[in-house]
Structure 1
Amino acid sequence: MSDEFRELLKRVGSGTHTSKNLTRTETATATKMMLLQEATPAQIGAFAIAHRIKRPTPEELAGILDAFEVLGSKLTVNPHHDYKPVVLGNPYDGRSRTVPVTIITALILTTVNVPVVMHGGDCMPTKYGIPLIEIWQQLGVNFSDFNLAQAQEIYDQSCLGFLYLPQHFPEAHNFVPFREQIGKRPPFATAELAWCPIAGEANLVAGFVHPPTEERFRSAFKIRGTNDFTLVKGLEGSCDLSRSRTAIIAMGRSGSDFERLLLDPHDYNLRGSDILLESKSQVISLTQEVIEGSKSQLLPAAILNGGFYLWRFGRAKSLQEGFQLAADILITGKVKTKLSQLQTLCN
């Protein structure tokens, strides 16, 4: 048993009226002790639930991210790339209700030389949804096989990198059984959305579900000096914009004030129903149709998301131009070519 950890646990676990917030440094210490399993399983489970009930403050979120930065592996920004890398932060427990287009978005961006970094692990609690790594594998790109040096080489050549937890952040991977046993998402599940696994300046994109999460992220980013960010109230907490509702987006950029964008797909003739997820084979089939340039029912969602991010990261002067560029990239087979490059590099 760790006496040091017990004192931190007593602070957050004393109940609604008497619990105390931790400092950034204390939270980083507690996070490291949990991820390194220096605390006992009973202590870790108690802390995870108590912290969830209390709700992490922005300072505590900053502390969790500090610990992730110390323990997790990182790619390195390539100075020869034309644009600042984009980190797409999505829930590690995957998608279970709607068909994702995150991978298509990543392919669209890298097709026009905007580097993208993704991160995640295998199927995990509490949702047990389809993780990104499994979709990539079904598309013939198995990022799970590579050590950090190999992942860096693929990123350097293709502009697309993937940090796979079992390989590159085993401490977080080894925490998965605790997530299963407590049956609820711990605060780590919030922080992982905002983890930046690349050394150097990057554009951080994180999804969220509940509006207070956006506020906490913005405050945590201010504490940590993260200026370039995009926060999206996305499908199932992902980076994917919904076709069925107005997107609520928060954008931060170095040297400028925080900006709010309300993006209604109806204004661009892209409004429609989000496709419900029925099976993994359905997800793969629809994704492949879009990559092939077919007029799939998933195509409008791919255009909406690809176009927004093309505009957001400087490849289009307007949203309308971004949507047109995304459509052109998909229909002319450029995304298919990019996927073929990745398949070659990864085999």
Structure 2
Amino acid sequence: MTEHVFAEYVRTLGRGKRARRSLTREEARNAMQLILDGKVEEVQLGAFLMLLRVKEETPEELAGFLDACRKQCDDALKDFPKVHLDWPSYAGKKKHHPWYLLATVLLAGMGIRTLLHGGPAHTPHRVYTDTLLAELGLKVATGVSEAAEHLEQQGLAYLPIDQFCAPLSDLLTLRYYLGLRSPINTLARSLNPARAPLSMQSVFHPAYIALHQGAAELCGDQDLLLFKGEGGELEVRPDARTSIMGIRHGEPLEGAVVDNLMPRATPPGTPDADTLKHVWRGEQQDEYGENAVIQTVAVALWGLDKAASLEEAREQAKALWQDRDTARL
């Protein structure tokens, strides 16, 4: 009997403490390509992902996974219109309202074309972006061509991951069965499927920032902003000091900080879109929410070189918020 072609990758990760090792970038690329091609058994997938989870994936491994997946993304979105900002959204909301969505609407109003992408619901008691967008009255694409139309019509589009790298969609749902996140959660955030010049990525834990940044550097990414967002989504907490890391114009970024604007706030506990609509229309005041939108938009404006500093970007964001089209939502 001939050994299964994927067995060597499980064995490399699963040997004893002295014999096991991380995968090289090329090995990781080959392993991921086998996964994308559907040539890996379910038992192998579970073992592979959890061995990586326990060992902790390396930048080289993540870069190898990206090598395989980005090729598939390029094929799926080869005729996609130009996007300015890549906005991965895979975490969902649990405690705070999804203020980051108002940030994308505000950016779209000034001509910044944003592609949001996310996966299927995989964690109980969280509300995900596709559901929330629909509740806001914004369109959710069911395919690439439809997402392109939405981008032209509303300045932003949401595209499910199953439309540009379908195998990863199923892998994300393993979180429900395994009870743990896997390297796929990190990988999905890093895809930048439309190859936008700026990608912003949020992490649950600051320790993952070095992993995201290291893989991006290996892949030659030029502009990537990383921070610990509220609940794992791309949303700056206005009641916390937020460090912005990543890559800026091809160089490692250090020392960028968004200061808190208010004391620690108590979350409402149940995220919903209705509150967002009332605040956007000026029918309701929410200090936390308005500041979350302004701070998040400021980071994007600075990353896109619309402002010379984060402080200048914050003033621009405030002006955008004051002048917003309240009838948009």
Q: Same fold (TM over 0.5)?
A: yes
Q: Report deviation, 1:64.
A: 1.5
Q: Quickly say closer, same or farther: Cα 1:75–1:46, change in 2 above 3 A.
A: same
- TM-score, L = length of structure 1: 0.84
Amino acid at match of 1:5: F
Q: Any idea what SS the aligned residue of 1:155 has?
A: helix
Pair 1:202 & 2:197 matched: yes
Q: 2:263 aligns with which of 259, 262, 272?
A: 272
Distance, in Å, in 2 between the alignment partners of 1:10 and 1:168 is: 30
* Deviation (angstroms), 1:43: 0.8
Measured in 2, the distance between the counterparts of 1:246 and 1:177 equals 32
Q: 1:253 deviation in Å?
A: 2.3
* Matching residue within 115, 118, 139 for 1:117: 115
Residue matched to 1:140: 137
Q: Deviations for 1:244-295, whole angstroms, at most 9, x for unmatched residues? A: 2210111422254533312212xxxx22334525224xx2122112321342
Q: 1:255 to 1:18 in 2, by over 3 A?
A: closer
Contact 1:292-1:333 within 8 A present in 2 as well: no
Summarize the Cα distance change of 1:187–1:15 in structure 2 as closer, same or farther, 3 Å threshold: farther
Pairing 1:334–2:306 present: no
Give the 3-state SS of the residue equivalent to 1:88 in structure 2. strand
The answer to whether 1:171 aligns with 2:167 is: yes
TM-score normalised by structure 2 residue count = 0.88
Q: What is the correspondence of 1:1-347 to structure 2 with a 5 Å cutoff?
A: 3-72=4-73, 73-74=76-77, 78=81, 85-90=84-89, 92-125=90-123, 128-144=125-141, 146-199=142-195, 201-265=196-260, 270-274=261-265, 276-280=267-271, 283-294=272-283, 295-297=285-287, 298-334=289-325, 336-337=327-328, 339=329
Q: Distance in 2 between matches of 1:76 and 1:287?
A: 33
Shift of 1:15: 4.1
Once the 2 structures are TM-superposed, how far is the Cα of residue 315 of structure 1 from its aligned partner?
A: 2.9
Q: What letter corresponds to residue 172 of structure 1 in structure 2? A: L
- 2: CA distance, partners of 1:157 / 1:122: 25
- Aligned residue for 1:129, secondary structure, equals coil
The 3 A distance-change label for structure 1 pair 323 and 181 is same
Paired residue secondary structure (1:250): strand
8 Å contact kept, 2:213–2:246: no
Quick one: percent identity of the two aligned structures?
Answer: 23
Deviations 1:201-228 (A, max 9, x none): 5201111233331112221111100011
Determine the C-alpha separation between the residues in 2 that align with 1:274 and 1:29.
46
Quick one: distance in 2 between partners of 1:175 and 1:128? 19
RMSD of aligned Cα (Å): 2.4
| TM-aligned CA deviation for residue 114 of structure 1 | 1.3
Change in Cα spacing, 1:99 to 1:14, as seen in structure 2 (3 Å) is farther
Which stretches in structure 1 are left out of the alignment for 5+ residues? Answer: 340-347
Over 3 Å counting, the alpha-carbon distance change for 1:272 and 1:287 in structure 2 is farther
Q: Distance in 1 between matches of 2:292 and 2:78?
A: 29
Structure 2: any 5+ residue segments left out of the alignment?
A: none
Measured after TM superposition, the shift of residue 308 of structure 1 is 3.0
Q: 1:65·1:195 contact (CA, 8 Å) conserved in 2?
A: yes
